[in-house]
Amino acid sequence: MGKSRLYPRYSHTQTGWVIIGALLAGACVVGASTYDSTLFPPWPIFAILGVIFIFFSTLTVTVDDLRVQAAFGMGLKMPAIELANVATAEHVENSFFNGWGIRFLPGGILYNVSGYQAVQLTTREGYVYRLGTDDPEGLLRAIQMRLEGMRA
């Protein structure tokens, strides 16, 4: 029978205030430009902006004993990253050009809603996952504690 590990579950949600502000500004521009228009109804654009808001306004990262899980907004879950398959974990800084949302990087993928701080997980096969966070120290500590426990 294997060792039972009881690490506290890590869960942190980051709000993408810039994304929210941009969506609200976009809604105001659309509303103002179509206020007196009968040719172009603004509702389809409002619906698209609303869906983007619902799915990409926050990013929640959770870490349990076996995996790391990122989820955008109201439950748009990304594939779980199995900790048993993680070779390295490190605090990194994203470039401005990496952007926000779901981005493909050379050899990997980035999940981010705001800022430039991230924790990068590299799998044993060399695939890279970058998880944007405003708590890189806490996330990295939660991951490293579990990795050390698995390798002990």
Position 55 scores a pLDDT of 87
pLDDT for 38: 67
> Considering its fold, how many domains does the chain have in total?
1
For 2, phi then psi, to 5°, come to -75, 165
pLDDT, residue 89, reads 95
Report if residue 1 sits inside a domain. Answer: no
Identify the pLDDT of residue 62. Answer: 96
Q: Is residue 4 part of a domain?
A: no
Q: What is the pLDDT of residue 80?
A: 94
In a domain, 53, yes or no: yes
CA distance 114 to 98: 11
**What integer pLDDT is reported at residue 1 of this predicted model?**
42
Which pLDDT score, from 0 to 100, does residue 40 have?
72
Low-confidence ranges of the chain (pLDDT < 50): 1-2, 4
| pLDDT at res. 59 | 95
pTM of the model: 0.83
Sign of the C-alpha dihedral computed for residues 123, 128, 130 and 136 taken in this order: positive
89 occurs within a structural domain = yes
DSSP codes of every residue in 96-129 = GGG-SEEEEETTEEEEESSSSEEEEEEETT--EE
Segments forming the whole domain that contains residue 21: 10-151
Q: What are phi and psi of 38, to 5 degrees?
A: -100, -10
For position 78, which CATH number holds?
A: 2.30.29.30
3 within a domain of the structure (yes/no):
no
5 within domain boundaries: no
Tell whether 22 is covered by a domain: yes
pLDDT tens digits for range 82-110: 999 999 999 999 887 777 788 998 899 99
Question: Residue 63: inside a domain, yes or no?
Answer: yes
